[in-house]
Amino acid sequence: MARRMSLAAGGLLATIVLVLFHQSCGAGDSHHCAPSSCGNIRNISYPFRLTSDPANCGHQNYSLSCENNQTVLNLFAGRFYVREINYSSYTIRVVDSGIQDGNLSFIPRYFLNRANFSLRDPYITSHPFDVYGQCKGEWFGAPTDLIGPWPEAVVFLNCEKPLKSGSFFNISTCSKNSSLSQSKRYRYVKFGSPTTTDVEDLCQIEQMTLTLSKEQHPIRTLTSCTNVYNELAYGFELSWFRATCDNLTEYGDCHIANYPVNCPLRSRPGYIRRLWESVLEYAFFIVLIGFCLVTKGILLSPCVIGLLIYTWRRRHLSMYDGVEEFLQSQNSLILIRYSYSDIRKMTTNFKDKLGEGGYGTVFKGKLRSGGLVAVKMLGKSKANGQDFMSEVATIGRIYHVNVVQLIGFCVEGSKRALIYDFMPNGSLNKHIFPQEGSILLSYERMYDIALGVARGIEYLHRGCDMQILHFDIKPHNILLDENFTPKISDFGLAKLYPAEDSIVSLTAARGTLGYMAPELFYKNIGGISYKADVYSFGMLLMEMAGRRKNFNDSAEHSSQIYFPTWVYDQFLEGKDVELEDATEEEKKRSKKMIMVALWCIQMKPNDRPSMNKVIEMLEGEIECLQMPSKPFLSSTESLTKEVGDNSNSTSSSSQLAESWQSSQS
């Protein structure tokens, strides 16, 4: 009898393992789907897939759509037509959908340059010289014969007067659009990045895209509109070599031959490990059933109790299980998951602390490849890991020159960390309000930083499939790289909303006092929207222009305590703000920044401009700016302030203005 029970237990265990084995095998089925086609693009196969293909076909990161018999790649919220997929060189050739066939339409619809891409993207602008990843502890790179040249930048300029530089081609008369061809402005295109000496005054960079490099196309003749159009219409190549390395960093059971990359066991990286992890997940359950069957009913009660405990543990998921489920649901994220031991090694046991706050502590670290990183160790979460999940869900899918780059993360039990590119010049906070050892930035540099931050916020609002509201724009959350290029950081309070939603819902106010929009407190002003970020940017811009905090309790006169009110009155009286060691041009630019800031901090959201308009105002002439209304309510208006679950109370506008200023200080 005992032998029979043992055989039964063994049979049950074998059955469970076989089921798990079958489930793991299903992970590799995406390689065996029939090829698809759309228009002129035939044999669309792994890793590519059409959105109409079965869910198990291809890789989700390499989805293409078929629209009007055109194969379309959606890249950074832009639409690009696919011209060719090369499976031997791991490249895909695409062209901006704004460059239309036959009508010499030159201007691309989408702003794109090499800075948009990183080695963690599904597509990169060159075969990687050092693909990040490990194979049994050894770093690997792409085969040298697959390393290709970078695509070349194409820059479009819009100028008020003709350019003297011969490196630009005048396309003003090329377009058949009469409104463009009859415009009094001059439009130019240049293949290759322009230098500062190339671009004259009264010129603006209107658009950027990519084209084949000189190495790929050594003979380039730009003598006619048709020549230029043909160059642009041919498109540019992106590498999808990254697809061959999918999950290699996580599982490490791979090897690279000449090419293609080979991974043992059904050509799926980590196959055996995933199977083993599946078995381990149910190990307790398997052993318990086997033990109960072998001992028959002798220990029935302990077995029942054990099963109840197991069921209870599975049903009552902890905060950490919720975070794990969230990470598993984010299939489109291409981030490296580090272990806690990896974090300790890269930070040399948390030796070099960069900063500390309510969010946690930031340490300086170094990757095996030599790159410097900032490691943010999150403190104990008060919202079931929502801060961590918000940051990963938002910044984990963003690639913009003015948004900090998230490299990876760590989740082990209660320990959570986020790994970013290291910003050697720290936060903007220490440069606006000079501290010992900090670099005093010129007014021109401060203006460039403001413009970069504005572009980053505008990208969050309009450049992604979902609109991203940051809700915590402030100097401390603007980081500066080695060239003082600004990077928006700290997305712990960020929220994602459908792009078409003009008004969003929040369960509670979020942000930092001094930069929070009034509609987060007063419900009669208007709904919560992207205009909340516009307000925060306005308060930031005001401090950058004035080089002082907006609230100054130690001011000599009470009228100077709140800087926006004081500077508004100064402008009304025809006076300017005194700036030390500033040229007339710098004073003019600083005044423009303050004027734009006053527009941004209007009390009512509807009175504030969009970030697109803010950029236009910053880039335009100050003479074109009108004086906004005073950024507080008129004496006839009143607001209702929400006070928890208590009844609403109504106050006069003057009282509310005072309470608003004091609450923000």
Specify whether the CB–CB gap between 165 and 123 falls below 8 A: no
Q: Kindly state the tokens that stand for 114.
A: 């090499």
Residue type, 473: I
Please name the amino acid found at residue 640: T
Distance of CA 359 to the CA centre of its chain: 19
Categorise residue 217: left if φ over 0, alpha if ψ from -120 to 50, beta otherwise. beta
Say if residue 13 is exposed, middle or buried (CB neighbours under 10 Å; 0-12, 13-18, 19+): middle
Query: What is residue 403's three-state secondary structure?
Result: strand
DSSP per position, 230-297: HHHHH-EEEE-GGGGGTTHHHH---B--SSS-B-TTTT-TTHHHHHHHHHHHTHHHHHHHHHHHHTTT
Distances (CA, A) of 484 to 227, 363, 374, 444: 38, 20, 17, 12
Cα separation, 615 vs 200, in Å, equals 20
Here the tokens at position 236 are: 């540019």
* Prior bond of 149 cis (ω within 30°): no
Rounded CA-CA distance 79/86 in Å is: 20
The helix or strand, by DSSP H or E, that contains position 10, with its residue range, turns out to be helix 2-25
**Closest to 597 in 3D by CA, of 659, 663, 538, 540:** 538
Phi first, then psi: what are they for 337, rounded to 5°?
Answer: -95, 120
Pairing of strands 372-378, 478-480: unpaired
Q: Which residues are catalytic?
A: 472
Q: How far apart are CA 275 and CA 543, in angstroms?
A: 56
The two structure tokens encoding residue 162: 């003709």
Is the alpha carbon torsion for 430, 434, 439, 440 positive or negative? positive
Question: Which residues have CB under 8 Å from 464's CB, separation 6+?
Answer: 77, 397, 398, 499
In whole angstroms, give the CA distance from residue 453 to residue 541.
10
Angle, alpha carbons 567-568-571 (nearest 5°): 85
Angstrom distance (rounded) from CA 391 to CA 402: 16
Under DSSP, the state recorded for 48 is -
| Cis bond upstream, residue 269 (ω within 30) | no
CA distance 374 to 255: 30
DSSP assignment of 530-562, as one string?
Answer: THHHHHHHHHHHHHHHHTS-SB-TT-SSGGGSB
Mutual angle of helices 283-294 and 300-315, in 10-degree steps: 170
